[in-house]
């Protein structure tokens, strides 16, 4: 049987655990997996680009599991009332190849992106980090806000979006979470004096959300919007002077902020920082940048975490997606044999089914 996790099941799991504890444990799970980096077989995601967006497959594997995600990125979708990003995912047993779980991953992608952002900031932001600026308050914003608050216990989140309705939505959704929010009238106002900046816009073009002259010493930038060829958010001058940490070089060269500059801009990959192979922040004056485009390891982390939770709490439904036969060489019998559960008859009563096939 294959575990099926739908949107309702994810909501139920988060309600049972609590959204902050869910994020806190997901950050820890992601940190553990980045710490096991060398044990994974890794690939850049396979992307099919269209004028209107991109559809991608993101696989990864270790000795225990094979996982992949199907995900789209269509920036103009909200004009039609559709999500910019939608995803589904699968976790399989690497020993026998059988699927263990198929899950919605639109919500889970938002969770894992936020968890990875907070994980990187744990090593790259100055301590204590008490303030966050969010530039872009679309679908990812609330998850980012809650993940950073879970990690750092923020004093304030300042935010700005070119869409006033998106700003209103953001504030409304975070009512009751006990986070002090400060709406700003511009990007420059929002980032003034903060410890961490997250840029999360959906425009599919090269632009400067942040000008280099605005960036103050000691700030950590979490750039999560650069996610396809030709799309960047930051001033190249900022990228050149920052300590740049990425997820996976082969992929980030194609899709991240460093596509404007090249590999020489990169200080290290996140796994190197997590394992201590390279130090993270070493002074309060450093400008650090997590040039994040999303990587399949993060999808694996959230899939295995949700699978463990679903098993523990009995959430989700089991689906008969793989034929079961007494003789593995006899697949055809699956079409002719009905089980007691399916028909109310003995599984030996095959004659009528066989005649129907003929």
CB 198 within 8 A of CB 120: no
Half-sphere exposure of 346 (CA within 13 A, CB side): 3
Euclidean distance between CA atoms 139 and 78, whole angstroms: 10
DSSP state of 83: -
CA-CA distance, 219 to 96, in Å (whole number)? 47
CA distance 157 to 73: 27
Q: Which residues contact 261 (CB under 8 A, 6 or more apart)?
A: 236, 239, 240
Tell me the catalytic residues.
227
Spatial CA neighbour of 194 closest among 243, 148, 141: 148
3-state secondary structure of 239: helix
Strands 181-183 and 99-104: unpaired
Identify whether the C-beta of residue 26 lies closer than 8 Å to the C-beta of residue 301.
yes
Q: What is the DSSP letter of 137?
A: -
Strand partners, 71: 56, 87
């Amino acid at each position: 049987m294959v575990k099926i996790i739908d949107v309702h099941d994810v909501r139920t799991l988060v309600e049972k655990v609590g959204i902050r504890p869910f994020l806190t444990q997901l950050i820890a799970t992601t940190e553990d997996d980045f710490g096991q980096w060398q044990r994974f077989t890794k690939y850049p995601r396979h992307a099919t680009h269209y004028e209107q967006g991109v559809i991608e497959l993101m696989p990864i594997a270790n000795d225990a599991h094979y996982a992949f995600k199907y995900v789209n990125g269509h920036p103009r979708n909200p004009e039609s009332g559709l999500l910019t990003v939608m995803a589904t995912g699968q976790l399989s047993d690497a020993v026998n190849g059988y699927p263990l779980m198929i899950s919605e991953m639109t919500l889970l992608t938002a969770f894992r992106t936020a968890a990875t952002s907070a994980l990187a900031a744990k090593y790259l932001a100055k301590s204590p980090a008490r303030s966050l600026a969010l530039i872009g308050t679309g679908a990812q914003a609330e998850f980012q806000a809650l993940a950073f608050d879970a990690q750092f216990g923020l004093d304030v989140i300042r935010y700005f979006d070119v869409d006033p309705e998106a700003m209103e939505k953001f504030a409304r959704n975070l009512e009751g979470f006990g986070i002090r929010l400060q709406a700003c009238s511009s990007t420059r106002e929002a980032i003034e004096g903060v410890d961490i900046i997250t840029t999360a816009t959906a425009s599919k073009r090269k632009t400067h959300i942040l000008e280099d002259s605005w960036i103050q010493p000691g700030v950590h930038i979490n750039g999560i919007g650069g996610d396809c060829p030709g799309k960047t958010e930051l001033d190249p001058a900022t990228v050149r002077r920052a300590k740049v940490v990425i997820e996976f070089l082969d992929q980030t060269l194609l899709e991240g902020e460093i596509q404007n500059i090249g590999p020489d801009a990169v200080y290290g990959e996140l796994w190197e920082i997590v394992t201590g192979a390279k130090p993270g922040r070493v002074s309060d004056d450093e400008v650090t940048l997590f040039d994040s485009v999303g990587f399949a390891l993060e999808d694996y982390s959230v899939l295995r975490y949700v699978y463990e939770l679903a098993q523990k709490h009995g959430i989700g439904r089991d689906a008969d997606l793989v034929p079961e036969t007494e003789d593995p060489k006899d697949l055809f019998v699956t079409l002719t044999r009905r089980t007691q559960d399916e028909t109310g008859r003995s599984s030996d009563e095959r004659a009528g089914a066989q005649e129907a096939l003929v």
